[in-house]
Structure 1
Amino acid sequence: MMKNHKKSLLALVLLGVFGLSACTFDGSDGKDGVNGTDGTNGTDGTNGTDGKDGLDAGSVVTTIYKAADVTFTIEPADNTLAGDGTFALKFSVTAKNQAGVDKPLTGLSQIAIYSATAMPNATGDGPSTEWVNNGWAAGNGSSMYCTLDGTYSSRGVTGEACTLVEDPDNLGTYTGTWTYTDTAAPIMNASDDLTAPHRVFMRLYNLTDADGNAISGKVLSPVLDYIPSTGEVVESTGKDTVPNAVCMKCHGQSSDTGNIASMGPHSNYQGEQYCVVCHNPGNQPDAEDAAAGLVYDMPAMIHRAHGGEHLVELATYGFVQADRWADIAYPAPLDQCTVCHSTDEGMTTWKDEPTRAACGGCHSNIDFTTGEGHSSYTLAQADDTQCSSCHATGALSPVEAHKVGKRAEVSPLLTVEFTSATKAASATAGMQDVTIKANVTFNGATLADVADLSVLAKASTLMGNVDSNGEVTAWTSRPALTSGTLADGVLSLTATVTDAQATGTIYVGTEANFCVSSDEEIVACGDDTIDYMFDDEDPVGASSTVAFFDLDGGDAVSARFVDADRISVTEAKCNACHDSLDYIKGYRHGAYTFDQCMDCHNNKLPATHHPDVVYLGDDGNTVTTGVTFGNRDLVTVAHRFHNGNFDEIGGIYKDADGNVVGYPGVSNDCTACHKDGATFFADDGGLTSGKSSIAVSTDSNADGTFDAFTKDDTTYYVSPVAESCRSCHTSQSAAAHFSSNGAIMAEDANTSSVLPVESCSTCHAIGKSFGIDQFHKMQ
């Protein structure tokens, strides 16, 4: 057809040429030719063999583009999917066509139906309401198939299925019937409670896109929660206390399904509402799996999995962890239950109804049968009836025992409010004494003695210059809080800096942190006689805000790190997964905000403690790629670390195939960190942050570490867009692409801090043909 089509076009062109020629040269007689005879009409199309009209083009679809394009309709009144009645299934399904319009999805050949009941439980073993998979309860599998011929074959097993029929007069509508009279449909549970909330969902099989490619991810219907005895659809089963949105804070949301993006097991069932249908008390490990640390009931499994490497570290105390979860580095405090759990009414069974299984997910060192590990009294527990007597309220409740929310509560035990900064000539020529004053409270009262601060785990301050563009340069020497003098309750600190540094705007902050006793007081760290709430492994950062002062009496310039229009991320985005930046960096820095982080992680301070990029080889050994970085810019560091391009194997890293291991979300999902609507590029092609370069160190020491500053006191600079992209895209071809489009790379590092604008935005700005939104999730 293509060749004939091209010949037809050629004929038209030649015809046009000769036709135009006729305007210039006369024919032999100079007259127009006569018209040809009319052709005959074609015959009318015939109806199908059933005598009915054929389908209009585009009235239905047989393929889909992604799982989220499929919509289901299922009415409880049309179905009998519970109890011991006669099985009946009816549902309709549509999918979007190329124009994005919903059309009936015709031609389904196989589905699976899952059914579970939120069953009241009065046994004393487990919660008061628990999910029961009706297939398992009836002695069958976890689900049932429906196929065109009433049989199925899956994973080498064949069996009976319900018969799936599409309504020829209403395409996209299907019914299912169970034709085997000697057995009941597999999900029909005669012991079911038809007055309890039920959950039903379906999975569609054998769907492809228009090119015949299998659809990525499972195509699942939304869950239908209803009461079979009345047909009432219910909004809450009372069991969904951790909704998908909570999981998405770390795992992201899939653009293909709309559910949780990154959940690997079973090729991703993508949502807690689906998981609980199988991961419930009816799913218990055999002796071998249990000995290996595996648990399958949802609360226990999630606790155990997120316990990850922390439980491995506690192995000497009898804690057990399964190999498949041993490498997980949970990104938030493990004991902060409300990172996932809600305190809203009706969603608090996690703290009101403690059970052995749920608590044993993390507390895997306890043998409840013998009582070993269950307090110093070795309290054996035959069931869960006694759990609430000790753990529902009081000091042993989950909220109190895990110090839920306490980090934020005790942070104000130390407050530092910077109030002014002035300068005066120093005794040393060319130097100035900058005096900073601050109001300080210690253990809830105005600081009475500077010596009280000696118990702090860290008493550092953060100080440096802010230029007219909002860029910061840290001072190399800053006074600690403990070096100050106290007068009338005001702490005075003195920093001696050069005349050039004592000019214009400066920033002043602190990264002080401290240990806290169980009595909620600031105490010295490392004292074996103290019962700590927070010790030197997880100290608490002081409550303080970075302040800006102009030493020349003018208006202070705020750093770009606090300008909402110049920074594309927010602390709230980080805290959604990490709970608190103070926890992530707390053992070294009491830092909660980006303007504290900027003291080290800015584009003016070269060098890094993590220069190399490595990956885990197939043989289990670390492989050095040869790719290095010479800066600690916040963008570079954040991208590198979360994408596994660091110099350590553990936490987040890459394997030999380039896959990111350990990051809980999707690597190219920018929405995990970046603000909604972030654009990145300014009108001139530069960054909206105004950052025009990044300082780098181009040399390293014999041991491979980079100097704090480059040798000969010379600082070099690289292009900021390329360095941001290179922090994930580390291949040689990517580097060549950056260079060929105007980027100054490390090998060509420039001593000027103002570099030419790269041409990246020409192709890669949002909305362009090759915009970053075409390859990364931006909204």
Structure 2
Amino acid sequence: MMMIERDMMMNSPKFKVATLATMLTLALTGCSGDDGKDGAPGTPGEDGKPGLIIADSAKSLAVTVDQILVADESKLTFTVRNEEDLPVVGLDKFGFILSGLEQGNNGNADAWKLLSSEGCPASKYSKCGTLEDNKDGTYSYLFDKDVTTEEAFTLADDKTLRLVVRVGGEQVGSSEVPYINDVHDFRLDGNAVAYTKNVTTVENCAGCHDDIAMHGGKYTEVETCVACHADNKVGDDALFTNLAHKVHVGVIAAPVGGCDNCHMATEGATDFANWKQVPTAESCSTCHADVDFETGENHLGGPRADNSACAVCHSESMTEMNHLSTYKGQTSRRENVHLTVTDAKMVAAPQAQENIDAGLDTASTGYVQLTVDIRDQDGQSMNQQLDKADFFYYSEFYINWGGHDMAMERGKILRVFTNKELYPGYVDKPIVLNYENGETTFEIGPFEMNDTFDGDLSASYGMVTPRIWFCMDETGTNIQSCSETASVWGQGAAGYNWLHFFDDQGMLNERPRRQVVTNEKCGSCHGTTTRESDGMVQMTLNCRSCHPVTKTDSEFFGTTCASGSLDKDGDGSLDEQVMLKNLMPRGERDWTTASNAGEECLACHNANNPPTQVIRDAHTKQGDADYVEQLTMSHPDHKVWIHAMHANNRANQGGEGWVRNVEYSADLANCVKCHDGDSFDTKYLVGRKPLALDLDYMDTYDGLDPANGKDTSGNKRYAVDAKADAYVSPTAAVCLSCHGKRAPEAGEDRRQVRKDVVGHMKQNGAQFGVTEGEYTGEESCAVCHDLGNLKTVHGLN
């Protein structure tokens, strides 16, 4: 029958038929959208043909396009089957998109042109042609539009066409099946396509998004988006290139300029390199909005009437260098210097004379001895004593002890070289114990070996991670003394930092704690550069949103480690501390080291470290009904901080226009999006240390220095001043960080903590804001919310 129809149609030059035998099975879960309404629910399907076994249920659907005719009356036949390969009959919700790819010339990029977009049942957004259910799992559709009349595209045998068939979104048996888009690229003459255009794919998008279901969940593939958001269908703002760049550039968590975060070389992304191979005014202007290509304003090449000469100046290699060098280009620089920790161990008593003379040693303290070698790009020792090397702008080591929860608030920070202000307990003089054969050994302490909740920590373990910036000459190839470097930031480079574990015998070869996150997990959204087999997550620009360079930016001095505020109106009272520096991710040199695991933060971001940021007297105040819970959700403990920040639930998030708002791109219930394996199991929180709070922190804050109400000692309070006076149960704190708030109600300028959630937690043993003597640690969360339950309620089964 197929061949008969083919032979009949081929008699007319206007009719071309292509037979397609590929089947693409997709089962993507749709999400909510705001464009287009579904038609009324269809009636139950009729029985299939006699003797044919048909599906009475379906969890997913698969489409096979059997035949397509493109003509003044275009039609196709296709088969729909369920996950058990049984034919599905009775469906009446479909969408059909037909587009053609026009090859670019004169410097223009290849471009999809929409021939027709139709849907059944018909709606105000689309017409429905003639749909026929053949009662055997096959369907026929006759397009409403004569696609041969589309002026933007001329049909030809060798051109690539794209057909998208949308099915799903209706009941099959007792459940509704999700939408899928079945995408077919083909030629009129039936031969394999010679070219197509896929600059990115769903697989690329899945790094940040769980899915990209748009328009009420109907459209689930990037290939669908580009086929419909074509320049002959939509305006410039809705053209897919412009639309995609607008919602991502400067908004997502990866650096601007990191085009390869979306345009990666994955299977199917045949044209992933278009961004650097085919420069056009249309695509470039979506980011370079200050450039007027017609007039030549802000364009070194002057005015351009078309794209014919773009690639003459903007070669592939130059375009890649200009975009990626801002965050990838430091890889070669970083290779010049490695601070390699060769040994670390905890000792019971100090050996350095300065530590002995300090008289701080007791029967319950210990000291960390840290040995470091400065090595070159070939891994060879430079044979220099670290504290005497003059090419470090800063070389710092973050150290803590005490196992999973660590024991000290912010640990100990060995600042060999630093750009921080001197502050006792925060910036201490480095004490060298020994230097031999290029290795410098420092002794840091004392570390308290008795913990309020964990008891004796002598048999525990510690962690150490470096933070490095070294100076180079203007060429970026030679190490140079920082005193001779014209621009420390412009010429310098951030060294790699590695996370090491150690005990009282030395460094540990195996990890003593579970792997919670990985570089690949974090880097899928935040941008990952590759150094051999090790991915380096570019997190710095995100960290800087909370940790600005206060020393050189006094206007925003009232932040984080130096907590305080401003009196901008001069009335003698601190302003409400809503003014927070807006540091969106952008293409700028990495200001600090590249993370290797995403968990070095534990050295400071742990349960012992009470929240002390300026948010506490601006967005949550003593006396507020939910004061303790707000502080809990704003806690710097890593396991709370990360959850609450991504959920937009910290006390300084959630307000309209607030610069620290986070619009997370995936489903917050998808724990494995960030977690490695089953590391989110509640069993890991049982018996863990409670989170410390300092409830009267602002009562003891000294406010402004009357003589100078800005960058003075009277207008800042270091976070190390915090004194724990209350505690919160760890499991409750973690769960509250995601589940503690709902969308703002009318008239509220911040979201309130949900009393029902807190009440449920308290009923099951959780405690909020209790004293040390009152804390029992008797949470029973894991009894019901075990791993199986978590996977079920979070949809991870």
TM over 0.5: yes
State whether residues 606 and 637 of structure 2, in contact with CA within 8 Å, keep that contact through their aligned partners in structure 1: yes
The residue type equivalent to 2:257 in the other structure is D
Q: Deviations over 1:453-505 (max 9, x none)?
A: 666554332123235x6745366554312347666533343424268599665
- Please report how far the alpha carbon of residue 146 of structure 1 lies from its aligned counterpart in structure 2 after TM superposition: 5.4
Of 461, 473, 489, the residue aligned with 2:397 is 461
Secondary structure in 1 matching 2:523: helix
Aligned to 1:724: 734
Partner of 2:159: 196
The answer on whether the counterparts of 1:516 and 1:533 sit within 8 Å (CA) in structure 2 is: no
- Superposition RMSD in Å: 4.3
What's 2:254 paired with? 332
Q: Residue 663 of structure 1 aligns with which residue?
A: 664
Following the alignment from structure 1 to structure 2, what is the Cα–Cα distance between the partners of residues 179 and 118? Answer: 21
Partner of 2:408: 473
Q: In structure 2, what is the Cα distance between the partners aligned to 1:499 and 1:738?
A: 32
SS at match of 2:395: coil
Q: Distance in 1 between matches of 2:95 and 2:644?
A: 42
Residues 1:348 and 1:516: Cα distance change in structure 2 (over 3 Å): farther
Q: Give the aligned partner of residue 463 of structure 2.
A: 507
Shift in Å, 1:437: 2.4
1:664 to partner: Cα distance: 1.4
Secondary structure of the equivalent of 1:73?
A: strand
Letter in 2 for 1:398: E
**Is 1:364 aligned to residue 347 of structure 2?**
no
CA deviation string 1:618-637 (max 9, x = no partner) = xxxxx996442243221100
The answer to whether the aligner puts 1:221 opposite 2:181 as a matched pair is yes
Aligned to 2:124: 154
1:349 aligns with 2:271: no
Q: Residue in 2 aligned with 1:164?
A: 131
Instruction: Give the conservation status (yes or no) of the 8 Å contact 1:200–1:223.
Output: yes
Corresponding residue for 1:570? Answer: 518
Aligned to 2:311: 388
For 1:687-706, list aligned pairs within 5 A: 687=685, 691-702=688-699
The structural deviation recorded for 1:413 is 3.3
Name the residue aligned to 2:770: 748
Q: Secondary structure at the match of 1:270?
A: coil
Code of the residue aligned with 2:351 in structure 1: it is A
Deviates more, 1:220-229 or 1:432-441: 432-441
Asked if residue 115 in structure 1 is aligned to residue 71 in structure 2, the reply is no
- Does the residue aligned with 1:193 lie in a helix, a strand or coil? coil
Alignment of 1:298-337 (within 5 A): 298-308=240-250, 329-337=251-259
Q: Which residue of 2 aligns with 1:38?
A: none
After superposition, give the CA deviation of every residue in 1:34-70 in whole Å (9 maximum; x if it has no partner).
xxxxxxxxxxxxxxxxxx9997999444x866xxx12
8 Å contact kept, 2:58–2:177: no
Equivalent of 1:275 in 206, 222, 225: 225
Which of 239, 261, 264 is matched with 1:297 structurally?
Answer: 239
1:603 aligned partner:
607
Count the aligned residue pairs. Answer: 621
* 1:113–1:203 contact (8 Å) kept in structure 2: yes
2:112 corresponds, among 114, 126, 131, to: 131
The change in CA–CA distance for 1:625 and 1:359 in structure 2 (over 3 A counts) is: farther
Say if 1:723 and 1:269 are closer, same or farther in 2 by CA, change over 3 A.
same
CA distance in 2, matches of 1:777, 1:524: 55
Equivalent position to 1:174, from 129, 139, 154: 139
Q: Which residue of 2 aligns with 1:416?
A: 339
* 8 Å Cα contact 2:463/2:603 also seen in 1: no
Q: Which residue of 2 aligns with 1:33?
A: none
Aligned to 1:645: 649
CA contact (8 A) 1:542 1:590 kept: yes
- The CA deviation string for residues 510-532 of structure 1, in whole angstroms up to 9 with x for no partner, is 22335777622567999996496
Contact 2:54 2:88 in 1 (8 A): no
Q: Residue 91 of structure 1 is aligned with which of 59, 74, 78?
A: 78
Find the partner of 2:785 among 761, 764, 769.
764
CA distance 1:534–1:461, change in 2 (3 Å): same
| Alpha carbons 1:700, 1:706 under 8 Å: kept | no
Q: Kindly state the Cα deviation for residue 585 of structure 1 after the two structures are TM-superposed.
A: 5.4
Once the two structures are overlaid, the 10-residue window that deviates more, 525-534 or 346-355, is 525-534
* SS at 2:540 equivalent: helix
Q: Is the 8 A contact 1:240 1:273 kept in 2?
A: yes
Q: 1:706 to 1:641 in 2, by over 3 A?
A: farther
Which residue type is aligned with residue 644 of structure 1?
N
2:102/2:159 contact within 8 Å kept: yes
Quote the Cα distance in structure 2 between the aligned partners of 1:637 and 1:247.
Answer: 25
Shift of 1:102: 5.2
- CA pair 87-759 structure 1, distance change in 2 beyond 3 A: same
CA distance in 2, matches of 1:696, 1:558: 35
Greater relative CO (CA pairs within 8 A, separation 6+)? 2
Q: What is the CA-CA distance between 1:578 and the residue it aligns to?
A: 0.6
Per-residue CA shift, 1:183-229, capped at 9, x if unaligned?
A: 668789871233222211123487347679xx697x34310122221
Equivalent-residue separation in structure 1 for 2:72 and 2:483 (angstroms): 67
Residues 567, 754 of structure 1: alpha-carbon distance in 2 compared, 3 angstrom cutoff: farther
Partner residue, 2:209? 251
Which shows bigger deviation, 414-423 or 716-725? Answer: 414-423
**C-alpha separation between the residues in 2 aligned to 1:380 and 1:480?**
52
2:65 is matched with 74
| 1:293-335 residue CA offsets vs partner (Å, 9 max, x unmatched) | x633333432232224xxxxxxxxxxxxxxxxxxxx3201111
Cα deviation for residue 727 of structure 1 reads: 0.8
Choose from 466, 491, 497 the match for 1:544.
497
Q: 1:557 to 1:613 in 2, by over 3 A?
A: farther
Partner residue in 2 for 1:144: 118
Answer yes or no: is the 8 Å Cα contact 1:365–1:373 preserved in 2.
yes
Does residue 593 of structure 2 align to residue 590 of structure 1? yes
Contact 1:464–1:507 under 8 Å retained in 2: yes
In the superposition, relative to structure 1, how do residues 472 and 370 fare at CA in structure 2: closer, same or farther (>3 Å)? Answer: same
Q: Deviations over 1:581-601 (max 9, x none)?
A: 543456555361344211111
Cα distance, 1:188–1:145 mapped onto 2, change above 3 Å? farther
Q: Counterpart of 1:436 in structure 2: which amino acid?
A: L
Alpha-carbon deviation of 1:645? 0.5
Measure, in 1, the Cα distance between the counterparts of 2:180 and 2:796.
Answer: 25
- In the alignment, structure 2 segments of 5+ residues that lack a partner are 1-46, 418-429, 451-456, 528-536, 548-591, 704-715, 741-753
Q: Is the 8 A contact 1:606 1:695 kept in 2?
A: yes
Say if 1:610 and 1:231 are closer, same or farther in 2 by CA, change over 3 A.
farther
- Structure 1's unaligned 5+ residue stretches are 1-51, 136-142, 253-259, 286-293, 309-328, 617-622
Following the alignment from structure 1 to structure 2, what is the Cα–Cα distance between the partners of residues 53 and 466?
A: 68
Structure 1 pair 752–569 and aligned structure 2 pair: CA distance change class (3 A): farther
Q: Which residue of 2 aligns with 1:489?
A: 438
Determine which of 419, 429, 445 is the counterpart of 2:359: 429
Letter in 1 for 2:371: K
Which one of 151, 176, 190 corresponds to residue 230 of structure 1? Answer: 190
Pair 1:585–1:362, CA change in 2 (3 A): closer
Is 2:496–2:594's contact at 8 Å kept on the other side of the alignment?
no
CA–CA separation in structure 1 for the residues paired with 2:670 and 2:156: 43
Q: Which amino acid aligns with 1:79?
A: I
TM-score by length of 2: 0.67
- One-letter identity of the residue aligned with 1:379: G
Aligned to 1:427, what secondary structure does the other structure show?
A: helix
| Alpha-carbon separation, structure 2, partners of 1:407 and 1:464 | 29
Deviations 1:663-716 (A, max 9, x none): 11122221210123446144xxx538x7353333343314799984687x5554
Q: How far did residue 282 of structure 1 move? A: 3.4
Change (3 A) 1:153 1:736: closer
